Amino acid sequence: MRCPMESGKGAEIVLALAAGRLEGAERQAFEQHMAECAACRRMAEAQTSVWSAMDEWAAPAVADSFDARLMARVATPEPRRWWQLGWDFGWRPALPVGAACLALLGVFLLHNPWPQVVPPVKPVAQVQQTVDVDQVESTLDDLDMLNQLDAPASPPHDSSAGS
């Protein structure tokens, strides 16, 4: 027999063996394979110990009054909390509507972004064309007049200082 672990059916066969569902020729073939394959033998022993532990486990006894208490609890309506008073429709219908509104708002903002205000920039050629020749001439005349005022005055000649 080819190793079931290699074919991918190892877990199924080992679980069937541990549960007692593996019968006949298939069981004999797998038991012969386990004699040769240590991995399959370890897995089968582990599963058998799990199944035997589950067979030994006993469920706790249920109280006689369990059914009556359960039915009484089911029949009694749950008390409403203070935040639930007057809110019969709940929030579930409102959530999809709110989500749809947020999605539409997002699409609108992404599709129509706020306009960016950019101040107009004059090209350099326009600035050079707006120069007034008369103003330039007036400015040069003013500069010449200021240069004449800044010229150092010659000190007065004192004739007595030389003797």
Q: Is residue 152 part of a domain?
A: no
Show the tokens assigned to 32.
Answer: 């012969």
Q: Give CA–CA dist 43/26, Å, rounded.
A: 17
Q: What is the pLDDT of residue 71?
A: 92
Mean pLDDT of the residues in the chain: 78
Domain count, the chain: 1
Q: Is residue 108 part of a domain?
A: no
Q: Which is it for the CA torsion 134, 136, 139, 143, positive or negative?
A: negative
pTM of the model: 0.35
Q: Is residue 146 part of a domain?
A: no
Provide the residue range defining the domain that includes 10: 4-55
The string of pLDDT tens digits covering residues 125-153 is 555 556 678 888 898 898 888 888 766 66
What are the helix (H) ranges across 59-93?
A: 66-75
Q: Is residue 50 part of a domain?
A: yes
Show the tokens assigned to 60.
Answer: 């706790």
Q: Is residue 11 part of a domain?
A: yes
Span 87-100, average pLDDT: 75
Q: Is residue 94 part of a domain?
A: no
The string of pLDDT tens digits covering residues 40-61 is 888 888 888 888 888 888 888 8
